[in-house]
A and B are shown apart, each in its own frame.
Chain A
Amino acid sequence: MKEIFVHVDRCLGCRTCEIACAVEHSQSKSLFGAISEHPTPKRRLFVEWVAPEFKFPVLCRHCEDAPCMHACISGAISRTPEGVIITDEAKCIGCWTCVMVCPYGVIGRHLETHTAYRCDRCPDQGEPACVSACPTGALVYRTVPEFSTSVRQAAAAEMVAGEGAAALPFVSEGAAALPFVSEGAAALPFVSEGG
C-alpha cells in the first residue's frame, strides 16, 4: 500500500495541497465552484509551522493499528481492503472520541453535519489530490520500500561524497537551510547564520 510521505526541505508552506484536498472533497470538484458550496468543503491535511523555519503538512497516517478505529464507540471507523482507514459518516455520531485518541491530531470535526472526517486517500483518483497538486514535490506517494530506497540512495550518495548525512530519516538529498542554495554552496554573504 502506498503512503504519503513528506520531503521536509521541499515544503514552502504554499498550502496548495490544502486547497486541492478541499476541492477534491467538494461537490463541484473545481475551485471556483467549491468556494461557494454549503457546507464549505473541508481540507483533510494541515500545513503546520515548525519554528523557526520549517513547514510541514500533517495528515492521517492510516495507521496499521489505528487507535481511532478501536476507540470508536459506534463502529463508524473501519479499514478498507486497500488498507485505508475510513470514517463512515452515516454511522458517525460525532462523539469525538477519535479526535481524543488520534496521536497526529488530524481528525476534523464537521460542524455542519456533526461527524468526523479525515483523509481518505482520494479513492476516486489515481493519486491523492494533495500529491498531484504539490508544486515542489514535497508530498510523494510511494510504498514504504520505494520511499526508503530513495532516502537510502540519497544518503549513500552523500556519505560517499563526504558531506555528512542530514540527521532526519525522511529528508532527502541535502537538507540545506535555504531551499534554493545548491549543495555545497556557502550561505549567501549577507545573511548571517541563524538570522
Chain B
Amino acid sequence: MAEKYSEKILSRSIDPATHEMLARAEELGLETAWERYEAQLPQCGFGELGICCRNCNMGPCRISPFEDGPKLGVCGATADIIVARNLIRMIAAGAAAHSDHGRDIAHTLLLTAEGKGGGYEIKDEAKLNALAAEYGIETEGRSKEEIALDLARAVYAEFGKQEGPIQFTRRAPEKRVALWQSLGIDPRGIDREIVEIMHRTHIGVDNDPVNLILQGLKASVSDGWGGSMVATELSDVLFGTPTPVRSEANLGVLKADQVNIVAHGHEPTLSEMIVAAAQDPDMLALAEKQGAKGINVVGMCCTGNEIVMRHGIPIAGNFLQQELAVITGAVEAIIVDVQCIMPALGALTGCFHTKFISTSPKAKFPGATHIEFHEERAFEIAKDIVRAAVENYALRKPDMVRIPDEKMECVVGFSVEAIVSALGGTLDPLLDAIKGGAIKGIGAVVGCNSVKVQHDYGHVRLLEELIKNDVLIVTTGCNAIAAAKAGLMLPEAAERCGEGLKAVCKALGVPPVLHMGSCVDISRILVACAAIANALGVDISDLPAAGAAPEWMSEKAVSIGAYVVSSGVFTVLGTVPPVLGSPVVTEVLTQGANDVVGAAFAVETDPFKAAQLMIDHINVKRQALGI
C-alpha cells in the first residue's frame, strides 16, 4: 500500500525507507538532521565562501566578497590565503582521521603478532607475505607471527617518519611518483605532513595559496597512498581480503524477532569482534532466553561496509539514516567507534530503549554508555557489549517498532584481488573491454550523504547515467550503500546499462557497480588504477577514468578528493566546497591543477550534468590514448 508522504518528506530523499522513517519521526515529534539543517538556515555566507578566518585571536576576520569592505585580515591575509589555509586544514583533519584509523589497524596487527590481540587472527597469509615482500621483509621459513611483527613495526614506522618515501606510494606508476617528486609533494611521513599543514596554516607562516595547496596535496597523498592504504591492507591481513558475497541493504534488514545490533563507525577491529561475539553460543543462548530468535548484527556507514565486504553482514543504511535506524524502535544497541557518528544519537536513543554505546577513548558522546574497547581483550569486551544489547531486548516496546519493509539484495566484496579473480586472473579482459569500447571507462563514485542534497538522489542518478553510458563503476562508502539500496549491485542491474557494459557484466556475472569497500578502501581504487595504468604503460592521469563525490560533506572527503586528483583522476564534487571566496584557489582547483597534477576538480550539483562532465572527460582520455 503506497502511503502518501508530504512534499517535504519526499523532497528530502529518494529512498522509500527514509520516507517512511521521516514520517515516523514526524509522528513521534522527533528531530532529525534535516530539521536541524532547516533551523540553521540561512547559513553564514562568509563561511560558505571560506572567507572567515579564526586562526588567531586578533580575529575572527572576514573578507568582504563585495567591491567594498575589508579585503585583508588583521595580519594582512587575503581571501586567497584564508581560503587556502581553511581548505588544507580540512585536508589535515580528513587525512588525520583516515591515518589514525590506519594506525589503529597497524597497532592491532602488532598486538596480534605479539600474541596479545584479544581474539584477532591473521586470516590472509598470502597478503601478509606480499606486503612483507613489499617492505623487504624476509618471509622464507618464518611463522606468520614473525612476519606480521616485522610488517606491523615497519608500517607503524611510516607514521612517525621524518623522511620518505612511504612505501605504498611506490605502487603508483613511476611517472606519477616522479611527478610528485618534481612537485615536492612526495610525502615524507604520514603524521609529518599533517603536522606541517597545522604549522603552515598558523598565523604568519605560509601565505602563498599555491604553496599551501601543494602541502595539502602532499598530506592527502600521505593519506590515500599512506594511512588509508595501511588501513585497507592490514585489515585484509587481519580479517581477510574480500571476495564476492551476497547480502542486503536498507533498514528492512532489521528484524522484528531478533536482537538488533547496529555497528556504526569505521574500524573493523571493533565490528569484526561484534560479529564474532554475536555468533558465540553463549550469546545466542542468552538471546533465546530473552525470547529473541537470534542476534542480528547490521552495519551502518563504513564499518558496515567493512563487515558486508568480508562477511555479507547486512547494511542498515548510510550516513543520513543513522537516526532513522534508531527511530525504528527495534535497535537494542547502536555501537560506535569513530567518525561520522552524530552526537544527536544520545538524545535520540533516550527516546527509545536503544543503548548508545561508545567504545573509543577518542570518541565520547553525550548520552552514550562508554564501554572502552581494548584490542588486548577484544573478544571479551565485544561479548560484554553484545551481552548488554541482548539483555536490552526485554526492554523493547513492541508497539514502538516500525521497521520499513525495504531492503535490497546486493553482491559486494570486490577487492582488487576479487576483481582480478573474476576477470580470470588478469586484468586483460577488462583492458580489452576498455580498449574495444564495450566499457568506455571507469567511474569511481564515492562519498558521504549531505542534507544539502536530496538523500541518495545525487548518488543514484549519477550512477544510473554513467552505467547507461557504459562506464563501469567502482564505489565505496555511503555511495556504495546507496547503490546497493537502489538495486545497482545486483547482476540484474546489467539490464540498466548501455549495451557494451551490459554484455561485459553478463559475461562476467558481476554487477555494473562494484562495491570496493569503506572510505579507506578508496585506496583499493588507487591500486586498481595503478595496476591498469602500469598494464597500459601510462600514468593514471591518462586513464579513461573519472571520480565523483555527489553528496560529500566530511573533511575526510576533502582529503580523498585531494589525493584522487593528486593521483591524476578528474573529480566532480556534488556540493559546493567553501572556496568560492577566492577566485585564485577556485581557479587552481578547477583549472590550474590540470597543469600541475594532470587532473582537476569540477563542481556540479546536478547529477545528470555531472555525469556528462565525467563522460566527456573519459572520451577525451580515450581519444588521447587512441582507443
| Chain A bound to chain B | yes
**Are B65 and A137 in touch, CB under 8 angstroms?**
no
Q: Which residues of A from 1 to 43 have beta carbons under 8 Å from B? A: 10-15
The interface centre, meaning the residue of B43, B62, B66, B590 with most chain A CB atoms within 10 A of its CB, is B66
User: B64 contacts which of A11, A47, A136 (Cβ < 8 Å)?
Assistant: A136
**Are B606 and A179 in touch, CB under 8 angstroms?**
no
User: A195 contacts which of B67, B581, B604 (Cβ < 8 Å)?
Assistant: B604
Bound-state Cα–Cα, A192 to B67, Å: 24
Cβ of A89 under 8 Å from chain B = no
Cβ of B609 under 8 Å from chain A = yes
Residues of A within 8 A of B343 (CB): none
Residues of A within 8 A of B49 (CB): 12, 180
Which residue of the partner chain B has the closest CB to A182?
B67
Cβ of B602 under 8 Å from chain A = yes
Bound-state Cα–Cα, A14 to B576, Å: 18
Tally of contacts, chain A with chain B, CB under 8 A: 71
Which residue of the partner chain A has the closest CB to B79?
A180
Residues of B within 8 A of A190 (CB): 586, 590, 601-604
Residues of B within 8 A of A188 (CB): 580, 583, 586, 590
Cβ of B167 under 8 Å from chain A = no
- 1/0 per position for B148-191, CB-CB distance to A under 8 A? 00000000000000000000000000000000000000000000
User: A178 contacts which of B46, B580, B601, B605 (Cβ < 8 Å)?
Assistant: B580
**Are A192 and B586 in touch, CB under 8 angstroms?**
no
Cβ of B69 under 8 Å from chain A = yes
**Majority DSSP secondary structure for residues of A touching B:** loop
- 1/0 per position for A158-195, CB-CB distance to B under 8 A? 00000000000000000000111010000011111011
B614 to chain A: closest CB distance in Å? 13
**Are B45 and A13 in touch, CB under 8 angstroms?**
yes
**Are A179 and B42 in touch, CB under 8 angstroms?**
no
Cβ of B68 under 8 Å from chain A = yes
Tally of A interface residues using CB under 8 Å: 24
Cβ of B2 under 8 Å from chain A = no
Cβ of B205 under 8 Å from chain A = no
**Are A179 and B590 in touch, CB under 8 angstroms?**
no
Residues of A within 8 A of B58 (CB): none
Cβ of B507 under 8 Å from chain A = no
Which residue of the partner chain A has the closest CB to B572?
A190
Instruction: Offer 17 A-B interface pairs, CB within 8 angstroms, sorted by A.
Output: A12-B44, A12-B46, A13-B45, A49-B42, A55-B42, A136-B66, A137-B66, A179-B45, A180-B65, A180-B583, A190-B590, A190-B602, A190-B603, A192-B609, A195-B605, A195-B606, A195-B609
Other A-B contacts than A13-B41, A192-B605, 17 sampled, CB-CB below 8 A, are A12-B44, A12-B49, A13-B44, A14-B45, A48-B42, A55-B45, A136-B64, A137-B68, A137-B69, A179-B45, A180-B66, A180-B583, A188-B583, A189-B590, A189-B591, A190-B603, A192-B609
Tell me the B residues contacting A by CB distance below 8 Å. 41-46, 48-49, 62, 64-69, 576, 580-581, 583, 586, 590-591, 601-606, 609
Tell me the A residues contacting B by CB distance below 8 Å. 10-15, 47-49, 55, 135-137, 178-180, 182, 188-192, 194-195
- Sort A-B residue pairs by CB-CB distance and give the 6 closest, nearest first: A12-B45, A13-B42, A55-B42, A49-B41, A180-B65, A49-B42
